[in-house]
Amino acid sequence: MCRRYISEFTAFCHSIHVLGEVTPRAMDAVTSLGERISARILAALLRQMGEESEALDATRLIVTDRTFQSAVPLMEQTRARATARLTPLFERGTIPVVTGFIGATEDGVTTTLGRGGSDYTAAILGDCLDADEVWTFTDVDGVMTADPRIVPDARVIPVLSYSEVGELAYFGAKVLHPRTIRPVIERGIPLWVKNTFHPEHPGTRIVRESRNTHGTVKAVTAIDHLSMVTVEGRGMMGVPGIAARTFAAVASDGTSVLMISQASSEQSICFVIPTKTAPQVIHTLEEEFSRELVRRDIDRIWSLDDVVVVTAVGAGMRGTPGVSARIFGSLGRAGINVIAIAQAHQSAVSPSSSPRPKRKRLYAGFTRRLSTNEKQDPCRCSRRHRRGRAAVRQAPFRSSPVRGNGARRLGAQRRTSLQRCLSMGYTWGSAPFLG
């Protein structure tokens, strides 16, 4: 059976070589082969161990639209197929080994589910089968309090809510993709994140509503390689449709906006996007607002590079007074300029140009003052913190280029340690944080 798939792979590669190009549909067909081979190897191993097992292609179970490389499941058709095919196997004690990552259109053309597709497959099938729980395995013990590659002593967060893990996934945590949790959110099914290489570890349990400890910050995460684009002009005040036109133009380039902030005077709108997309987005915006730029209703459209969105997450922060004062006071004492804020979970933005040791101290600054004398809940802080504010700050480690209409170059910023900024004014108890 595996030889058949290897022959298919060889044929696909030969065709791509002859044509000199590959379509998204062909790429889905090629990338599906690894999952198909792996499922059959695992099923054979289970049978060798004395278990009844059968390998199944998700192309027979998961029905999707025709968006190749990022297909969307059609849940009604999928539920009917999955129930009809898998329930008899469960009833006779057979272990089904289903391929992740792939599905098929209604007429049987192979598709893939995009990033996080294997976890997404598990969540889809858990939804369709009314599962009690869904377990997903990765290479860490669960959702960590910091990126373990940066902070070796990062810890596992025992319990997170759907909203908390969704925020973490959106703002850079690599364990789960936001789409993975959508099916289980809609059905209220608990999701476990466990370690393939350490299966006895309890991992992280993701539930509809976790127990909130007042002031709890459960996670700190960061996204780098970002730019903040600003559309500004005195003629924007009170003019309807500027924001709609701005984000319609950004969407026309296929660019995702991570964060938005607008001046209360309506004289500027700024938003954060990946740096690699900034030049094209600025060009598109300048075309969209060409008449306003000529009339000087809009003064300029420009981008500030080398920013990082840093987000603190924890539902227990909601309604706790004084968090913003301590955060921005700490930033000010460290000489760090906050250039935009947006309410969400607690977030701040720092530069992608920061050297790795600096970034390590960024996370370490939250955990280095852990109290060894306090015996308290592992999800409790010694100070109160409130849910969600996002801040963007300029890169302090090198000059930041400004691009676009009226382009100029900013002067070099002070060399300010992120660790000094984030450790000032905070004395955390035994609270876990994530990066």
pLDDT on residue 164: 82
Contact 280, 227 (CB under 8 A): no
Determine what percent of the chain is predicted with pLDDT higher than 70. Answer: 70
pLDDT on residue 75: 94
pLDDT on residue 56: 96
> Does residue 304 sit in the same domain as residue 415?
yes
> Over 80: is that where the pLDDT of 201 sits?
yes
Q: What is the mean pLDDT of residues 163-170?
A: 77
pLDDT on residue 404: 47
pLDDT on residue 128: 94
Total domains in the chain come to 2
223-275, pLDDT tens digit by residue? 888 999 999 998 888 788 888 999 999 999 999 898 888 877 778 899 999 99
SS3 for 245?
helix
Does 184 fall in a domain? no
Q: Which of 430, 155, 406 is nearest to 302 (CA)?
A: 406
Check which CATH number belongs to the domain holding 78 and give it. Answer: 3.40.1160.10
> Does residue 97 sit in the same domain as residue 243?
no
Q: Which of 52, 72, 54 is nearest to 62 (CA)?
A: 72
SS3 for 102?
strand
| More confident of the two residues 294 and 115 | 294
Does 133 fall in a domain? no
| More confident of the two residues 134 and 336 | 134
> Over 50: is that where the pLDDT of 428 sits?
no
> Does residue 291 sit in the same domain as residue 415?
yes
Query: C-alpha dihedral over 143, 148, 149, 151, to 10 degrees?
Result: 140
38-53, pLDDT tens digit by residue? 999 999 999 999 999 9
> Does residue 103 sit in the same domain as residue 224?
no
> Does residue 118 sit in the same domain as residue 228?
no
How confident is residue 355, by pLDDT bands cut at 50, 70 and 90? very low
* Alpha-carbon span 169 to 175, nearest angstrom: 7
Instruction: Print the domain residue range for 234.
Output: 219-369+377-423
DSSP string, 215-239: T---EEEEEEEEEEEEEE-GGGTT-
DSSP string, 293-328: HHHTSS-EEEEEEEEEEEEEE-GGGTT-TTHHHHHH
Q: Is the pTM higher than 0.75?
A: no
Last residue of a domain, one of 122, 146, 174: 122
* Alpha-carbon span 117 to 109, nearest angstrom: 17
pLDDT on residue 38: 94
Does 183 fall in a domain? no
360-379, pLDDT tens digit by residue? 544 544 444 333 333 333 33
How confident is residue 434, by pLDDT bands cut at 50, 70 and 90? very low
User: For all residues of the chain together, what is the average pLDDT?
Assistant: 76
How confident is residue 402, by pLDDT bands cut at 50, 70 and 90? very low
pLDDT on residue 187: 86
> Over 80: is that where the pLDDT of 301 sits?
yes
> Does residue 82 sit in the same domain as residue 230?
no
Using DSSP, how many helices (H) and how many strands (E) does the chain show? 12, 16
326-342, pLDDT tens digit by residue? 667 766 776 767 777 77
Does 331 fall in a domain? yes
Contact 367, 151 (CB under 8 A): yes
pLDDT on residue 1: 66
* Alpha-carbon span 36 to 118, nearest angstrom: 12
Does 204 fall in a domain? no
> Does residue 276 sit in the same domain as residue 410?
yes
Distances 90 to 51, 77, 170 between C-alpha atoms, Å = 13, 20, 35
Last residue of a domain, one of 80, 97, 122: 122
Q: Which of 435, 434, 432 is nearest to 213 (CA)?
A: 432
Does 228 fall in a domain? yes
Last residue of a domain, one of 75, 104, 122: 122
Does 146 fall in a domain? no
Determine what percent of the chain is predicted with pLDDT higher than 90. Answer: 43
SS3 for 116?
coil
Check which CATH number belongs to the domain holding 278 and give it. Answer: 3.30.2130.10
* Alpha-carbon span 109 to 59, nearest angstrom: 8
pLDDT on residue 345: 56
* Alpha-carbon span 213 to 379, nearest angstrom: 7
Residues paired with 104 in a beta bridge: 63, 110
Does 135 fall in a domain? no
